Structure 1
C-alpha cells in the first residue's frame, strides 16, 4: 500500500534524527498549509501558494516572526526532502510578520531564592541547576548520568539548540545533591533492569553504533520520569526523562506561591543567570560561550537589560 505524504514526511524527519517536538511541529504546519489551499497536493503548488500561506499567517493570524519562520522551514523541508523540489532558491517573498524587539524579564537573586523555596525535590534541584548553569529546560531534561563530571567539576551539554556542545562549571552548592541524584538513578535503573526494562532512548546513529549502550547506567537520564512509558516512535516500553510540561507547571505554581507577578517560565532562569553574571563583571564573550550562543549579538540583549536596570538609579523629579 502506498504511503501517505505525511507518513513519508515523518520517516524523512526521523531519518535526519530530528526531535519529536520538531516532527510534531513540521507535520502540523504542513497540514495547515495543505488545508489552507483546500487540500491540494503540494506537488501541484509552489512559490505563489507558499507566499500566500505565509502572508496569511502574518496578516490574518498575526503570528510572531519566529512562528512564521518555523512554518516556512517546515514547508521548505516538505518540498526539498520529501518532494525533491528546491524551494530555497525560489526567493519566496511573503509579507513578513512584524518583529518586535523586547527585553526579556529577569528575576532578582531574591526572587530566584523565593521560587526555589517553593519547589520541592527533583523540581527544586532541576531549577537550581538551570539557574546555576544557564541551561535551557530541554538541555536540563536531556542530561544523562555521564554528562556530570564530578572529578573535574564540569557539566557537559550535548545536542543543544545551537548544535554546539559546551562545558559548564558544576555549581559546588549542588555537587553533593547531584551525587545523590545519580545514586537514585542507579537504584531505579537496577529495578527497571530486573523488571525486564532498563533501556533508554538513544539517537538512532548512537544506538546502531553502540547497541548495548542503551542498557548502561551512564546513558540513563539524570532526571528520569516517574513511570515507564511506551516510546511514541518505536513503541518500546522504557523510562524517559521528566516531561517538560510537568516541570513547567511546577515552576508556575512556585512563582504563584512566591507571589511573584512577573511572567515566570523556565527560560527566565537562563535570562537571570546571564544578567547576574554580567552584573558581577563577567565579560560578554565568556557569557556567550557559557550560553552556547553562535553570535555575540544574541548575548548583547543582556547588556540592554542591565542598562534598563541602571536607568532605575535615575531619580524621578518627584523624588528630588
Structure 2
C-alpha cells in the first residue's frame, strides 16, 4: 500500500510515451527514431505547445512549412503526417477525424532507373568480396537493399535453391530464387561467417537481434547459428533498446558506397544505386518473356499495377506499339 506522504511518480514524458507505444506495436527502430523526431519538430515549431492543445490548423501549418520553406520531398512530408497520425491516435488516444482528411503530398510518378544487361555486367565485374556478393544477390533475386542486409542463415535453402524473405515491405514474407551462379561464393562466405560466429560465442557476444515476440517465444534463438545475420557488421554495437552489446548486420551505406564506386568506374552516366539492381532484375525478366504475375510475386508487389511500370523499357514499348517512324 502506498504511503500517503510518498509523492506519486511523475507521468512519462510525451516522447517517452511515443517510444513506448511504438515498441508495443513492434515498429522498427528506424521508424521509432523518425517518428520521435517528427513529433519533437512539430512541438518545437509551435513554441513547445502540447499537441492536446493543437488541432488541424497547427498540423496543416507545420506540413505547409515543410513543403514551402523546408522544400522537403513528398515522401518526407507524408512521413511527418504519418508520425502525427500515430501521435494522436495511438499515444494521445484522441479521435480527430479531420486529421485523416489532411491532404497528403502527391508523390511524383518517375520511371525507375534500369541498367541494360551489359551495363549490369560492367558494374558487377567491378564489385568484389562481400559487396560483390550482395550486389549479385540483389540483381539475381530482386530483393530490396534492406531485405538483403537482414538475411539470416536459415533463410537460404541451398537444396531448393530458394531464399525466404521475411518481414518484407508491408510485413509480408515471400520466396525468391537462389541463383546457381552465387551458390559457391555464398557457401564460402558462410564458412567464414561461421568462424566469426564461433569466435563471438567464445566471447559471450554471439546473440543477435530478435523481434520482441520471437525472443520471448524462443529464448535460446538469439545464440543459435540459424538466426545469425549472413552479412554481419565488422564490429560490435550497443542495441539502443536493450542496451546489449552484440554484432548487428552490416551497414547498408557501405554497400551503397561500393556500388557508387563501381558505377563511376564503369563510366555510366545513369544514377544507379543498389535499388537499381532490383529494377533491372524485373525488367530483364519481362524482356525474357516471363509472365508479369510471376515477376510481381518475386518482387513482393501487392498490386500488379506497380509491376507494370517496368514494361516501359521493353523493346516495343509498354503497350507493344511500334513507332510510325520505324515503319
Structure 1 and Structure 2 fold alike (TM over 0.5):
yes
Is the CA contact 1:54–1:95 (under 8 Å) kept in the aligned structure 2? Answer: no
| Distance of aligned partners of 1:59 and 1:98 in 2 relative to their CA distance in 1, 3 Å threshold | farther
Instruction: Return the offset for 1:149.
Output: 0.4
Aligned to 1:110: 118
Of 41, 47, 72, the residue aligned with 2:50 is 41
CA distance in 2: counterparts of 1:7 and 1:58, whole angstroms: 28
| Distance of aligned partners of 1:177 and 1:312 in 2 relative to their CA distance in 1, 3 Å threshold | farther
Using the TM superposition, name which of 308-317 and 24-33 deviates more. 308-317
TM-score, normalised by the number of residues in structure 1: 0.93
Instruction: Return the offset for 1:298.
Output: 1.0
SS at 2:175 equivalent: strand
CA distance in 2: counterparts of 1:95 and 1:107, whole angstroms: 35
Aligned to 2:300: 292
Gaps of 5+ in 2: 1-9
Is the CA contact 1:185–1:220 (under 8 Å) kept in the aligned structure 2? Answer: no
| Distance of aligned partners of 1:315 and 1:114 in 2 relative to their CA distance in 1, 3 Å threshold | farther
Instruction: Return the offset for 1:177.
Output: 1.4
Aligned to 1:7: 16
CA distance in 2: counterparts of 1:16 and 1:96, whole angstroms: 24
Aligned to 1:263: 271
Aligned-residue Cα RMSD (Å) equals 2.2
Gaps of 5+ in 1: none
Of 79, 83, 86, the residue aligned with 2:88 is 79
Aligned to 1:278: 286
Instruction: Return the offset for 1:140.
Output: 0.2
Of 171, 180, 184, the residue aligned with 1:176 is 184
Instruction: Return the offset for 1:144.
Output: 0.2
Instruction: Return the offset for 1:19.
Output: 1.2
Using the TM superposition, name which of 201-210 and 8-17 deviates more. 8-17
Aligned to 1:254: 262
CA distance in 1: counterparts of 2:324 and 2:120, whole angstroms: 27
Of 11, 15, 31, the residue aligned with 1:22 is 31
Matching of residue 189 in structure 1 with residue 189 in structure 2: no
| Distance of aligned partners of 1:186 and 1:300 in 2 relative to their CA distance in 1, 3 Å threshold | same
CA distance in 2: counterparts of 1:98 and 1:137, whole angstroms: 25
Aligned to 2:109: 101
